[in-house]
């Protein structure tokens, strides 16, 4: 059992005692049965449970097991943060599709007919505005009591809050800004623009970086985690604000690589196996455990959703509960050429037996190849099949930092060299036994493809395609883009999701994104 898992249990129990769910983004002050100040004054150790709960809400749906949710939804498992990231980052992009046809999921997987009533947009929006007030409430309470390592814990909570706001910047482009100063305000908060949210997250992360430790327990934020989020903010700054910040992104990436102490794992697939908590490469994981932190919204969603008894032996991938849902498209596995002859280890992580190369019908399980990149089997030791996954989700890892370094250099950032960029890319490719490339082959188009080969199904793809100018329009087509088997152009309005109708109804200060 992972060390932090027992803390998650404490966190779930503590938060269940304290809070009920927020019903909308306006409900910025949770209903408190026992004041946090009194709880922390009586039991200083309770802060660890509160902190663990806030980490847990990134992977778990609720405080009372896999059938519960912190936010409203007919199917609690659908409401988890990580599941929302997979739905909105991967199924809306080129590499992955889902066949279930659930209300709203078809619209994501075909990048078509998006509207503010889609429940999957609401789940991510509501999740963010569950995380933000909860973390803010705890931060304010901690300011009034004395607990051990208070500055470190507050810094971690501020990071979690900043990550939630970053999600708003990337997904919706605007929202409301709940801070320590306006927390609990009874009147509707004003709309905050993308620039305003960007400026707030930047200022928070820059301040946190100077206060948080360089190292921390597994699964908790440290300086490198904060710097990775800063780098993500800066590398996408031209999309978010219209101003390039690639040099700032590279500054933070250099710190992650040079000071973090991380090294590439010797095996690619080990990063996505049940014992990946031993990794030297993962910078920030979202923790899963088949016993102590069960969820239908963590990597269980990825592993079980990618397996089926129709065409596979699911025990080979450590699950006893296959959902027959997710398959990759040729936009991903086609990047490896002939999968049978490719020397690239990453090319071997698709289930081809009984499946068709072409995805003529995204609702047909055998059209497209399931990705078996994530599995619930251990890499270095025996394991047993379970219905829930124990594989942690690598939200940030060193290979991503290497690829971000190369991209920043190619985009003209200062603070890096072309040779180092090439060395980092080839280190990633050598790890997977792919052929090395020359300096002439290292282009932005190559990097976008390499990010797909290395990082698909890890929650980055939609953002990457937007940053590279490939998501909207018709210059790059993929299977079922625009609800067409061979792809069709989609409007630029799809670079952000619509603000959910429920949010607009609850706060008259909010306005809908253009085009919806």
Q: For the CA atoms of 461, 467, 472, 476, what is the dihedral angle to 10 degrees? A: -70
Residue 417 clears pLDDT 90, i.e. is over it? yes
In the chain, the percentage of residues whose pLDDT exceeds 90 is 89
CB contact at 8 A, 406 and 240: no
Alpha-carbon distance of 62 to 159, in angstroms, equals: 20
Give the pLDDT score at 34. Answer: 52
In the block, residue with structure tokens 């509207």: 115
Give the pLDDT score at 19. Answer: 44
Question: Which tens digit of pLDDT belongs to each residue from 241-273?
Answer: 999 999 999 999 999 999 999 999 999 999 999
Alpha-carbon distance of 226 to 234, in angstroms, equals: 12
Residue 231 clears pLDDT 80, i.e. is over it? yes
Beta-carbon contacts of residue 417 (< 8 Å; ≥ 6 apart):
409
Beta-carbon contacts of residue 234 (< 8 Å; ≥ 6 apart):
245, 246, 248, 249, 252
Residue 30 clears pLDDT 70, i.e. is over it? no
**Burial of 423 (C-beta count, 10 Å sphere; 0-12/13-18/19+):** middle
In the chain, the percentage of residues whose pLDDT exceeds 70 is 93
**For residue 161, which of 125, 206, 129 has the smallest C-alpha distance?**
129
CA atoms within 13 A on the CB side of 338: 2
Distance of CA 204 to the CA centre of its chain: 20
Give the pLDDT score at 21. Answer: 40
Residue 17 clears pLDDT 90, i.e. is over it? no
Model confidence at 63, pLDDT cuts 50, 70, 90, reads: confident
Alpha-carbon distance of 59 to 65, in angstroms, equals: 12
Alpha-carbon distance of 127 to 309, in angstroms, equals: 33
φ, ψ of residue 283 to 5 degrees: the values are -90, -40
Alpha-carbon distance of 168 to 171, in angstroms, equals: 5
Question: Which tens digit of pLDDT belongs to each residue from 125-144?
Answer: 999 999 999 999 999 999 99
> H helices within 210-329, ranges in order?
223-235, 237-241, 246-259, 299-305
Give the pLDDT score at 2. Answer: 61
In the block, residue with structure tokens 């470190």: 152
Alpha-carbon distance of 41 to 77, in angstroms, equals: 34
Structure tokens at 101: 């046809």
- DSSP state letter for 86: I
> pTM for this structure?
0.94
Residue 409 clears pLDDT 90, i.e. is over it? yes
Residue 14 clears pLDDT 90, i.e. is over it? no
């Amino acid at each position: 059992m992972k060390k932090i898992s027992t803390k998650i249990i404490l966190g779930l129990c503590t938060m269940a005692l304290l809070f009920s769910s927020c019903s909308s983004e306006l409900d910025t002050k949770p209903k408190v049965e026992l004041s946090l100040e009194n709880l922390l004054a009586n039991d200083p150790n309770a802060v660890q449970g509160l902190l663990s709960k806030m980490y847990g809400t990134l992977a778990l749906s609720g405080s009372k097991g896999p059938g519960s949710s912190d936010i409203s939804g007919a199917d609690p498992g659908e409401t988890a943060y990580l599941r929302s990231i997979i739905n909105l980052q991967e199924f809306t992009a080129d590499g992955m599709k889902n066949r279930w046809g659930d209300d709203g999921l078809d619209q994501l997987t075909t990048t078509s007919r998006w509207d503010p009533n889609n429940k999957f947009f609401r789940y991510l929006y509501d999740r963010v505005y569950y995380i933000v007030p909860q973390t803010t409430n705890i931060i304010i309470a901690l300011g009034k009591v004395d607990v051990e390592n208070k500055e470190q814990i507050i810094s971690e909570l501020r990071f979690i809050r900043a990550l939630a706001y970053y999600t708003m910047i990337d997904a919706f482009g605007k929202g409301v800004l709940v801070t320590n100063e306006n927390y609990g305000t009874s009147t509707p908060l004003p709309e905050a623009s993308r620039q305003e949210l960007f400026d707030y997250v930047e200022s928070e992360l820059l301040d946190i970086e100077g206060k948080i430790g360089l190292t921390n327990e597994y699964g908790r934020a440290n300086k490198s985690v904060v710097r990775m989020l800063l780098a993500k903010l800066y590398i996408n700054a031209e999309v978010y604000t219209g101003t390039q910040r690639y040099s700032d992104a590279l500054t933070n990436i250099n710190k992650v690589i040079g000071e973090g102490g991380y090294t590439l794992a010797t095996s690619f697939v080990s990063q996505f196996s049940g014992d990946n908590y031993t990794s030297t490469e993962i910078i920030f994981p979202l923790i899963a455990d088949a016993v102590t932190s069960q969820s239908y919204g963590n990597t269980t969603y990825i592993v079980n959703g990618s397996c089926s008894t129709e065409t596979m032996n699911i025990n080979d991938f450590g699950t006893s509960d296959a959902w027959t849902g997710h398959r990759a498209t040729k936009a991903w596995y086609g990047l490896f050429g002939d999968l049978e002859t490719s020397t690239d280890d990453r090319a071997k992580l698709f289930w081809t037996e009984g499946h068709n190369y072409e995805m003529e019908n995204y609702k047909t399980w055998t059209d497209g190849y399931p990705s078996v990149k994530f599995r619930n089997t251990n890499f270095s030791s025996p394991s047993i099949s379970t219905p829930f996954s124990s594989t942690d989700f690598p939200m940030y890892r060193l290979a991503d930092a290497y690829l971000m370094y190369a991209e920043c250099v190619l985009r003209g950032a200062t603070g890096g060299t072309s040779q180092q960029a090439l060395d980092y890319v080839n280190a990633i490719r050598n790890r997977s036994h792919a052929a090395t490339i020359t300096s002439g082959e290292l282009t932005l188009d190559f990097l976008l493809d390499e990010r797909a080969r290395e990082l698909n199904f890890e929650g980055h793809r939609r953002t990457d395609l937007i940053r590279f100018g490939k998501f909207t329009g018709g210059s790059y087509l993929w299977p079922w883009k625009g609800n067409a088997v061979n792809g069709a152009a989609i409007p630029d309005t799809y670079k952000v999701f619509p603000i959910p109708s429920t949010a607009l109804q609850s706060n008259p200060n909010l306005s809908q994104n253009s085009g919806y």
